[in-house]
Structure 1
Amino acid sequence: MTIDPWHFRRDQLADQVLSTLSHGPAQALSLFAPRRAGKTEFLVQDLVPHAEARGHRVIYASFWQAPLSPLAVLLHALEKSLEQGRLADRIRTSAWRMAPKLKLSAAIPGTGTGAEAEIDLTRLKGEPPPDLLFHLDDLLGRVSRKGRPTILLLDEVQELARSRSNAPLVAALRTGLDTRRDGLKAVFTGSSRAGLTAMFSNREAPFFHFATPIDLPMLGKPFVDHVVAVFRKTSKRDLDPERMLDAFNRLHRNPYFFRLLAQTMLYDAEHTISSALEHVRERIAADLGYPEAWLGLTPIQRETARALAMGAVKPFSRVFRQALGAALGDDPPSAAQVQAALRRLERLGIVDTARGVWELEDPGFGGWITARSEDRSRDG
C-alpha cells in the first residue's frame, strides 16, 4: 500500500488493541468515533500492518452505504480473504472492488452446486437465505486459526441494526464467532453510539455484551505538529503551530477536516488559516447536508436541537421547556411534546442518549447550529 505522508501513525494504540485481542479476555472490541474521525484509517493503516506483522490473517468489511446487502459484503470479504497476500494486496487489486457475481470456494450445502458455483450478490436482498448462512459459517470455520487468530474488522457495524431482515445474519455471525473463540477475534466499529448500543447493549440483541466498548482516542497537538511539518515539507511554507492548533479545536478535533484545511491552503496560497477555516466549515455543512437537515425539522425540533447544541441539559425540566416556549414565541411545550421532538431527532440520527444524557450526535452539526444562533443574535 502506498504510504500516505499525511497519515499520523498510531502505533501505540494499534499495539494496545492487538494485545487486548491476542492476550486479554476479550474476544471482540467495539470501537466508537464520529464519522470521518479516522476509524477506518486507523484500522487499515495502523492496526492491519501490526496484526499481519505478527502473523494474523486480517479480514476487513465495511457496511457503510454499501451498494449490496450486509450478507453480500461479508461473503465477499471472507471469500477474497482466502486468496494469497496481505489485506493491502487485496485492496490494491480488483478483488477489493465488489463485482456483481462471486465465485464460491465451496459447495453450498443442500443445493447441489459445486465449488465453482457463482452467486449473484445483487440478488441478496431481504432476509438472508439459510443455505448462504450455512456457507457463511463454513467460511468462518475455514478462516479461523488458533494460535494466531484471524481478526475480523467490521466497519460501521451499526448499519446491521437498521433492518430487522438482518437479524438472522447477526445471529449467525454471533454463533460463528462464539464457537471459534480461540480462532476468531473481531473489532466492530461504529459512528453512532445509539446504533452500537442497539447492537451490543440491547438485552434482546444477539451481540448483547459480546464486545468490550472503547472510544477511539481524540488526536491532539502531536497530530497538529505532524500536519504542519508535512505542509512545510510539501509547500516550503510555514504555518503558525498555535493558530493551527486553535483551528483544529474549532473543527472539533476532526482529523479529516483538519487535513482538508491544510490542503486548502496548500492548493491556494492566498488562503490564510482563518479564511481556509471558514471555507472548510462551509464545505462541511454542504457535504454533510446540515442546511437540508435543519430545514427538514419542525420548529420545536429545531429549538430543541439548538438548546442541546448550546449546552442546555434536562430537556424535560420546567426551565428547559420555558426557554423552549420563549424561543418558539408560545407557551412552554409539555414534557410529552419535548419527548416527541427528541425521539424524532433520535430517529434522524441528530441526537442520542448513549452516554446517559441527551446530546447532539455530531459535534460538527452542533457547532453549525451554534454559529447560526450567534449570527442570529448579532443580527438582532
Structure 2
Amino acid sequence: MDVFHREALAADLANKVLFVAPTSASGSGLFLAAPRRTGKSTFLREDLRPQLEKQGALVVYVDLWEDRRADPGDVIVHAVRAELSRHDGVVKRLARSAGMEKVTVGGVAFSLDRVGLGEGVSLSAALAALSDETNQVIVLIVDEAQHAITSERGNDALFALKAARDELNSSRHRGLRVVATGSNRDKLAMLRNSRDQAFYGAPLVNFPPLGPDYVAWFCERVGLAAPLDPMVVQELFTHAAFRPELLGAAADALRFEFGLAPQDVPGRFAAAVQEQIDASNDELLRVVHSLTPLQAAVLKVLARRGADYAPFEGATLQAYQAVLQAANPAGEARADVPAVQQALLALQEKALVWRAARGVYAIEEAVLAELMEQRGLLADVP
C-alpha cells in the first residue's frame, strides 16, 4: 500500500529520542499527544520505527489499543517476551541468571513466562540482558499509553519500565528510551504530571498534524476525473480536523458516482468531505442520544467540568440533578452515588468514558465534548 512518509520529522524525532543531553529530561521518556485517526500510529510504524532502527536502536512497539479487552500490563509484558524470544543469547543469559547453567534454548527448563510483573525475572533484568546481548539502545514505543493506567497491572508495568529505564540508562548499559503516545493530552498527562507517577516530569508535546505536503501527495494520487486544488483541499483537511480517512472516504464516494462530470468534481469533493464530517459527528451523537436520562446527565457534567470533574462530590451530584430536572421537570430520576456509579460503568461499556485505575474519569474522545458544546447539549449544565 502506498503510504505518505514523514522522513524528515522521523529523523529529527529519532535524533531527539536517542541522543539525550545530560541536562535534558527526555531520558525520563517522551510523550506525544495527537487526536485519534490523524496518522500518529502510521507514523510510528512506517517512519519513526524504521528511522530509529536505521540509527542503531532496537525498537519494541506496543499498541495498547489493539485489544482493549487485554490488560495493558500483560500487553506490555508479552511484547517484551516476544522480542526476547528472537534472541537466543538473551534467553541463555536469563536462564543462567535463574540458576539454570545447562539450559538449552527451546528446552523446557526455562520459559519466558518467568519474565514479567512479579515473576522470577523482572522486566528490568530482561531488558538489561537484551541491551547487553545486542549492544543496542532499546526504544520502547507504547501507543495509546494512557490506557496503561486503567488497570493495576498496567500501572505496575509503567513502574517496572521506570526501573528498567533507570538501570539501562546507567553507565553499565546502552540505554532505554520510552516513547509514549496518546490520543488525549489530558489523559496522557496523568502519566507524568504528579510525583507518584512513573514518568514524572517527562516532556509532553503535541504531535504535529499532517500538513500541506500530505495534501499535495494526496492530490497527486487521488485519481479522480479532474484534479483537485491543494490549497482548497488544505482548507477542507483543516475543517476535517486533519483526519486523512475523511479525505479518502470522500474520494471513494466520488469514484462510485457514475456519470459525474469532470467540471463538477471539485465542488462535489468539497461536499463529500462535509458529508463525511457530518456522518462521523452524527455517529458519535447517536450513541449520546441513546443514553438513559441519568447517563446523559453524568456525561454532560463530565464534558463540561473536564479535568475539574469530581464525580461524587455534593456540588457535582447537584449538577446531575439540575440536568435531570431541566430535561424532565416531572421526572423521578435521582442522582445518588450508587446510581451515578452505575451510570459511569455503563458509559465506560459504551466507550464514551475512560477511567483510570485510581478513579479519575475523562471523556474517551475529546472531540465528543467539543461536539456536544457546539450542538448546545451542555447548555443545561450549571
- Rounded to whole Å, the distance in 2 between the matches of 1:80 and 1:281 is 47
Report what 2:146 is aligned to. Answer: 158
- Amino acid across the alignment from 1:174: K
Tell me if 1:258 matches 2:250: no
Asked whether 1:291 is paired with 2:292, we answer no
Label 1:308 to 1:220 Cα distance change in 2 as closer, same or farther (>3 A). farther
User: CA contact under 8 A between 2:127 and 2:164: conserved in structure 1?
Assistant: no
Cα separation, partners in 2 of 1:172 and 1:367, compared to 1, 3 Å: closer
1:235–1:158 CA distance, 2 compared to 1 (3 A): same
Could you say which residue in structure 2 is the equivalent of 1:190? 182
Structure 2 unaligned regions, length at least 5: 261-267, 307-314, 331-335, 355-360, 378-382
Matches within 5 A, 1:184-263: 184-209=176-201, 211-231=202-222, 234-235=223-224, 237-263=226-252
CA RMSD of the aligned region, Å? 4.9
**Cα separation, 2, equivalents of 1:52 and 1:196:** 26
Distance in 1 (alpha carbons) for counterparts of 2:137 and 2:302: 45
Distance 2:278 2:79 in 1: 35
Q: Which amino acid letter does the alignment assign opposite residue 372 of structure 2?
A: I
The separation in 1 between residues aligned to 2:325 and 2:229, in whole angstroms, is: 43
Tell me the number of residue pairs that the alignment of Structure 1 and Structure 2 aligns.
336
Tell whether 2:169 aligns with 1:168. Answer: no
Task: Tell me how far apart the structure 1 counterparts of residues 164 and 7 of structure 2 sit (CA, whole Å).
Answer: 30
Contact 2:117–2:157 (CA under 8 A) maintained in structure 1: yes
Task: Work out whether residues 303 and 363 of structure 2, in 8 Å CA contact, stay in contact via their aligned partners in 1.
Answer: no
* d(CA) in 2 for partners of 1:106, 1:278: 58
SS at match of 1:265: helix
- Cα deviations across residues 281-303 of structure 1 (Å, max 9, x unaligned)? 425754xx552255236342354
Asked whether the equivalents of residues 60 and 79 of structure 2 are also in contact (C-alpha less than 8 Å), the reply is no
Equivalent residue runs for 1:116-127 within 5 Å: 116-117=106-107
**TM-score by structure 2 length?**
0.67
- State which of 273, 277, 287 in structure 1 corresponds to 2:274: 277
Task: Decide which structure has the larger Cα Rg and report it.
Answer: 2
CA distance in 2, matches of 1:54, 1:71: 24
Instruction: Give the aligned partner of residue 265 of structure 2.
Output: none
The alpha carbon displacement at 1:216 in A equals 0.5
Against the structure 1 CA distance between its residues 187 and 145, is the aligned structure 2 distance closer, same or farther, given a 3 Å change threshold?
farther
Query: SS of 2:120's equivalent?
Result: helix
What amino acid does structure 1 have at the position aligned with 2:30? Answer: L
2:368 corresponding residue in structure 1: 365
Q: Tell me how far apart the structure 1 counterparts of residues 156 and 325 of structure 2 sit (CA, whole Å).
A: 48
* Alpha-carbon distance in structure 2 between the residues aligned to 1:76 and 1:283: 38
Higher mean C-alpha displacement, 359-368 vs 242-251: 359-368
1:138 aligns to what? Answer: 126
1:153 partner amino acid? I
TM-score by length of 1: 0.67
What fraction of aligned residue pairs are identical, expressed as a percent? 19
Is the CA contact 1:153–1:186 (under 8 Å) kept in the aligned structure 2? yes
Checking the alignment, whether the CA contact within 8 Å between 2:5 and 2:47 is kept in structure 1 is no
Cα pair 1:174 1:206 within 8 Å, conserved = yes
Counterpart CA distance in 2 for 1:360 and 1:235 is 38
Residue 263 to residue 145, structure 1, CA distance change in 2 (3 Å): farther
Q: Structure 2: how far apart are the matches of 1:277 and 1:308?
A: 30
Residue 48 of structure 1 pairs with residue 49 of structure 2 = yes
Gaps of at least 5 residues in structure 1 are 84-102, 310-315, 353-357, 375-380
The CA distance in 2 between the partners of 1:71 and 1:59, in whole Å, is 10
Q: Is the 8 A contact 2:98 2:121 kept in 1?
A: no
Give the direction of change, closer, same or farther, for the CA distance of 1:44–1:165 in structure 2 (3 Å limit): closer
C-alpha spacing 1:296/1:219, structure 2 compared with 1 (3 Å): same
Distance 2:209 2:122 in 1: 38
Aligned to 1:21: 18
* Cα displacement string for residues 309-337 of structure 1 (whole angstroms, at most 9, x for unaligned residues): 9xxxxxx89xx99x968953659xxxx99
**Cα distance per residue 1:252-303 (max 9 Å; x no partner):** 22233333333443455656431353146425754xx552255236342354
Q: State whether residues 210 and 242 of structure 2, in contact with CA within 8 Å, keep that contact through their aligned partners in structure 1.
A: yes
1:40 deviates by 1.4
Query: Counterpart of 1:180?
Result: 168
